[in-house]
Structures are given as C-alpha cells and as structure tokens.
A and B are shown apart, each in its own frame.
Chain A
C-alpha cells in the first residue's frame, strides 16, 4: 500500500522530477560551475590573458602530467587506498628513460615501452604487499616514495640527463602536424578532431537515450539532456577554436583524452570498475559477493604504476630533462585533484571526470595566480583553502541530505 504511494510521489510532476534530478547531480554540476566561475574570474582579472590561445595551450600541456596521475589516483582512492609514491615513480620513470636513451642508446619508442613496463613492475611490487600481504597502502607507498626516489638517484648517479631526441620530446611538448602548413587561420586537423569529438558525443548521447527507452528505464529530463549536450559541445568547440588558432592540438592532449575516455568507461561500465567501487564501499560485502578483492587491488596498483610511469615520460619529455628531484610533491597535487573532484576519503565514491575537473581547477588557479604575479606563498595558501572548501562543501551537502 505505502509502496504505491511512494511511486506516485516520485512521478508527481515533470518539473519537480527535473528538480529532483538536478539536486541529485548537484555535486557534479557544482564542481563544473566552480571551474567556469574560476575561469571567468581569471579571464577578467588577467584582462583576457587566461583564455588567450597560447595560454590555453600551455595550460593543457603544463597540467597534463598531474591530470594523468589524477586518473590513476581516483581509482586507487575509490578503492579506499592511497598512493603516495607516484611522485617518485614519475622521477624513476623519467630517469630510466634518460638512461635508456642516452646511455644504452635504445630507440625512443623502445624506451617508452620499457618504461611503461617498469611502471607495471613497480605497481606489481607495491600491489603485492598491499593486496596479498595486507600492508596498508599508505605504508607501502610511503616506503615506495622513498625507495623509488632512491632508485632514481642511483640510476642518475645524482646527475641530470639532457637533452632528449625530438621524437621523445614530442610526447610532452609536441603538436599534431599542422595540415594548413602554418598559413591557415585555423589549424585544420584540430578543427576536424574537435568536430569529430562533438559528433561522437552527440551520437553517444542519443544512442544512450534510445537504449534507455528500449529498456523503459527512466532517463534524465529531455531539456536537461539537450542543455548538457549543447553546453559540452560548445565548450569543446571553444577549446578547439582556441587551440586551432595557436599551434594546433598538443600530442599530450590526445594521450590525456584517450585516458579519460577509456578510464571513465572502465569505472562507469566495466565489471572491473564496478568491483573497485564495491571494494571501496564495503570490502567485506564485496568479498562475500564473489569479488576477487585481492586480484582487483593488485591490478589497480599495477595500473597506477603504468599511469605514473606515463606521467613521468610526459613530464621528462616536456622539460627535456631527467632530474633526480623530478615529480617532487606530484602525489599531493594528484590527491588534492581527486578530493576536490568529489571523491570520498573513506572510498567507494568518486569519478574520473570529477578528478579531471578537480585537476583543472588546481591548474587554472596555478596559472591564473602566476599571471597575476601572486607569490608562491599565497598560491599555496589559496590552494589549501580551496581543497578544504571543496571537501567541506561535500560534507555539508551530505549532512543536509540526511546522510550518515
């Protein structure tokens, strides 16, 4: 009896339903709006420098490695773990790339593959202790932070390695070839990529709606769907326009884009991703539901090792330098990005896109404050307060909705 009553309430009026839907999405929307507000603020404060094509291009390139790390870190944090070693793994990967290319004379692409494999080994090492030996990830990766920093210094014999071949450097600071030969008003390849991305987005959105309709599953309100689609498309086209009017598409943006698309799908749709959420939400319940919790945890850290190694390659390529001190503090930036992006410290909650937006917020704060000439002491202060505010907002939100 009360069952039918509940159903009627939930069906009561399209407007209220839409309202409820938006309220449920508040966290993601709020984060997105915060990002836009920050961009607009700096656009005004810097008198238009923030959204100049060259600055947007730099912004993407210079934050790419933190964003790459954030993709791996959000998965680790959703599973209820943490990885403090990624900064050292970044340095180690860069150091090994330097040693392989300049001392062992490996071809650049062999070095890249070998470094990613080393990243996997690093992840297996840490994953073994965490998953099968049940040492808390905090401890294992704290030890990893020290050991891999040590191995970096040993590999580099405490010296820097430079320069790297151009092909390798392209991974960090290169652009896709300019089809317009540098003459056209907008770089054609970038425009094509942007338009294809928008078309894929629209196709995917419509396909999803058709399928949900087929299963008679309740969908998001149509107006909201259209608004969201138009908005995202406009945003992609804006970035496309800005990039195309400078030097085109940074190669690292393609790498990052693929990572985001693949891992967002993994976390949202794959069995593996679901198992990560299940482990983070309630480890015992997951184990008793047949989730191979140890194997999932192990693979998670292997994945994190590979991603950290990739970030190391990008970073090294960008600086054209393998440095024993590289990557210092990157783990904290990545963790901050994840938490600003709405992940829960206790695990079980978080999204890849959230982490990326969190990373972008940090990146734009860094960039904007640097343009404004804000001293690094104030930058630290402000970033700290933003992190605290973001998490406080989460906690407030949860409390208001009567969460435990």
Chain B
C-alpha cells in the first residue's frame, strides 16, 4: 500500500524567499513532501523552520514572499490561515491555541460549530467530538474542560480539531516540547497511525530520536537555506549525521567534558511531603529524601506528573503545594525555606521550567531581569544604584555570551537560548550555593544547549550544588554525576554515574506503576 502512495508529492514549495526588514529569513528554499509521508524539518532556532511553515499556512499571505507553492499539484495562493485550512493544511503551533474554560468538544468545533437550523446542536457536537477523540486515542469525555486535562492530552485535542477539518497535511511545530516521554511516545504512535490513514504530516522538532523514530524524510534548514533532504529509509541516518547538517560542523560531543570535584554536602531534604494545592487529598510528593554536595550535578528524572517541578517549587519558598512537611538542611544546619525570600537568603535558587510565565519579565530589559532576584545587593537605603546594575548586566552578557545588541534589549524579543542565559544570570547574580534548574534546555537549539551545559559545569566547578530536572533522559545521562528517579511523587532510586543507562533509569521511573499493577 505504501509503495502506491509514495509516488506523488502532496506539496511542493519552490524557491521560497522571505525577507524581513534587514534580514533574509528564507533564501531560495525548495522542499517536496510526499503524500502519506511524515516529513521532518530540522534546524537550529532561528534557522527559518517556523517562517517556512508560516509561509505555507498563509500566516504570511501570498505576495509577502517570493516563490511558489503547489499543493496537490495545483498552485495555491493562501492569504490567511482560513484559506490554507480550507485546502486541508492545518498547522498546530508550539503554543497551543485552545480556550481553557471551554470543553474539549467546544474547542474542537470552535469556528466550525455543529449546527441545526442555525442553532448549535450540542448532541451532535459531543457525539462527533467523541468520534474524533477515539481516532486520536483520547478516552476523556468531550464535555471535560480543557483546563482539567494535561498538556499531553491538550495536544491530542488539537490534533482531533485538525482531523475535524478534514486535514490532508498536518503541520506540527515542536509537538512534544512540553510532553513527557510517555505522552510523546503516544503522540508519535498517533502520527504513524494517521500516516496509515493517508494523512501527510510535517513535524518540526528538536528531538532527533523522535525524528528518527517516525520520519520518512528529513529536510535540514540552516540560516534560512535548505541544506539537504535525507531519506530516512535509504540508509541508516544517525542523530549525529542530522546534527552535523544542522550546525554545519561535527559536534564532537553533545556534552562538554567535565571532571567533577565533589565536596561537602550543601543541601539535604528529609522526609518531604507535599499535597496538591487544589485537591488536598492528593499527595504529590511522598516522603522524599535527597541531598546534593558542593560541586555535584544531581539529576532528577521522572515522567511528567511524577512531581519533579512540584518537589523543587515546594522546597523553593513553598511556591507550590499545600500542607508541606519535611526538613531542609543547608550545610548540615536546619533552615526554613517557607518564603521565596527566605529560600534565596539561605542560598537557594530555582530557575523555572517555564521561562516566559514564571522566569522573566518579558517587557523589561536584560538589566532589570538579571538584577531582579538580588536587587538589595545593588541598593543602599532602599535606592538602587542603576549604574552598577548596568555594569553587572554587561558583565553577564559577556560571560554568558548573551546575544543581544546591548543590555537594554527587551527579554521578550530574545531567542529561547538567550532568554535562558538571562534567567541563569539572574540566579548566578543572587550568588546561591544550590541551584535547582528545571528543564534548563527546553526549547533551546543544539548549539545553545551545549553552552548551557558548559555553564552548568562551571557552576559546579565553582563549588555550588546543582540539581537539574529534565524530561530528556540523554541530557541527564550526559551531564549529571548522580540521578534520582522520581515516580508518582516517590524517589525510587539514587543512581550513581557508574550505573547510568537509560533502560536502568526508565525502570525506576516507571517502578511505582508496575508495583501497583
């Protein structure tokens, strides 16, 4: 069956050039997507992947770019998202576009309401939604509100919504960036499933293992130019091979070399219990014990919902949770970290997993973001020394290689990697002894990731204890000296570097569930 469908191209984009004032975002890019294939597009952040997809979906209307687009062998001139959706091209953006207080069914048919005689037919809406949910493998009731389901399921709702529009070409922009391994695996299975139903997909992803798992072809874009298209079936394409295309050089290693110098214990958490802030019966963290020593990089691995972020945020100033109990020892002395300012004064720092919502003031400049957690050290009698503040920020811009014209640049306009460097600078300036870094490389391109790993190593070498929370297991395996596995709120293992294998860790990360079954 597959051989029969491979023959035609569903989409051809020819010689696409898109210029923004002063920047050539795309230069003469041509791609061909075969019907019934999963076509991956790879490239570093800012390479032009999203721009290309915006050109395709009509976000940038016909006429604002050069080149031509053939969809099902017909030249098309999309002027808006509505045009492209009418033709069967649906794009699902990285930031989900669902209305949180409407139900799943309402969201699926938003803008395409199921009507009878001009009135919304709720029975039909929910019935049809149920059928679509079955197709994407979601068992929830269609009348459930979007806020009540997790990000992974929300992503599936987005796909169900696309299916309701009779999609022929589905574009997924970083679909698994916010998902845990389990949900990611489900999503990738779904993509393969849709492929069997004849739906063509384009996937933009940073996660090369996923691309390897599902893609039929990979197109690599670098600096607004197409580098190559690799046929994933023709020969064995390694992740390193793709990375080489993306960065234009061989990355000798994805992780910088590091020899740890481990010293005294910096932080110990004993018998830590946290309950859900809304559902007071539900225990999110269950008698957790962990410690980190000076110069040590400790990982916390767990599936989504295991309680990783909840554990970190509850320790950091009780920023999450209800009825928190347990003890925190700083260098052997018990301390209270009930408020964020107390936690900071005891030398703790927490860089959040969600930079935009919890990490940065996006409308302020680099300077004011860097000084935010330690403004007192820059001030006398309650007045801030603005000059010293700028000097500090300039220092970090240089040391951390933050790419911005100056320290007055607004953080909302920086790339993900540079935003993360600003967040790290902020916490480094607060001069902590222990840093908890929650998903430090989420949504960051390969080159910047390498830099962030280097910074993490440097922090450890400066004698700080570093705790890294990540949903990317290879990352933890690459940089940590020791890894705790967390499963359903319980620490299931404390694995030293010598025993690091993905299989081993995954076993502990899923342990609780197996015990229960």
Contacts and interface: CB of A to CB of B under 8 A. Distances in A.
Interface of A: 2-3, 6-7, 9-10, 24, 211-212, 214-218, 265, 268-272, 274-275, 277-278, 281-282, 284-292, 344, 348-349, 402-404
B417 to A, nearest CB: 12
A215 B385 CA distance: 11
Contacts of A268: 386
B204 to A, nearest CB: 21
Interface stretch (B132-140, B177-185, B402-410): B402-410
Contact of A214 (B368, B386, B387): B387
B372 A286 contact: yes
B412 to A, nearest CB: 6
B391 A215 contact: yes
Given A274-B375, A285-B359, A288-B340, A10 B406 contact: yes
B357 interface: yes
A281 B362 contact: yes
CB-based closest 10 A-B pairs: A281-B361, A215-B387, A289-B373, A290-B341, A289-B372, A290-B344, A282-B361, A284-B358, A290-B340, A217-B390
30 contacts: A6-B403, A6-B405, A9-B405, A10-B406, A24-B408, A211-B387, A212-B387, A215-B388, A215-B390, A217-B387, A271-B376, A271-B379, A277-B364, A277-B368, A278-B361, A278-B368, A281-B363, A284-B358, A285-B359, A285-B360, A288-B317, A288-B350, A288-B358, A288-B359, A289-B426, A290-B317, A290-B340, A290-B343, A291-B372, A349-B363
A403 B410 CA distance: 10
B378 to A, nearest CB: 9
Residue among B344, B352, B372, B430 with the most chain A CB within 10 A? Answer: B372
Nearest to B406: A10
Interface in B392-406: 401, 403-406
B386 A269 contact: yes
B213 interface: no
Nearest to A211: B387
Contacts, number: 106
A282 to B, nearest CB: 4
Contacts of A272: 382
A332 to B, nearest CB: 26
Contacts of A275: 375
B256 to A, nearest CB: 19
B368 A348 contact: no
A18 to B, nearest CB: 15
Contact of B352 (A3, A214, A288, A348): A288
A271 B340 CA distance: 17
B364 A10 contact: no
B405 A288 contact: no
Nearest to B316: A288
A170 to B, nearest CB: 32
A269 B378 CA distance: 11
Residue among A216, A287, A288, A289 with the most chain B CB within 10 A? Answer: A289
Interface residues of B, number: 43
Nearest to B362: A282
Contacts of A271: 375-376, 379, 382-384
Contact of B383 (A2, A7, A269, A348): A269
B287 interface: no
A265 B384 CA distance: 10
Contact of B340 (A6, A212, A289): A289
A70 B97 CA distance: 38
Contacts of B364: 277-278, 281, 348
B319 interface: yes
Given A288-B358, A289-B426, A344-B363, 14 more contacts: A10-B406, A211-B387, A269-B386, A270-B384, A271-B384, A274-B384, A277-B368, A281-B362, A282-B358, A287-B319, A288-B316, A288-B340, A290-B344, A290-B373
Given A6-B404, A217-B387, A286-B372, A292 B358 contact: no
A265 B357 CA distance: 29
B368 A284 contact: no
Interface in B326-357: 339-341, 343-344, 350, 352, 357
A404 B412 contact: yes
Contacts of A284: 357-358
A404 B341 CA distance: 31
A65 to B, nearest CB: 28
Residue among A268, A284, A285 with the most chain B CB within 10 A? Answer: A285
A275 B371 CA distance: 11
A288 B387 contact: no
A286 B408 CA distance: 19
A346 to B, nearest CB: 8
Residue among A268, A274, A292 with the most chain B CB within 10 A? Answer: A274
Contacts of A2: 403
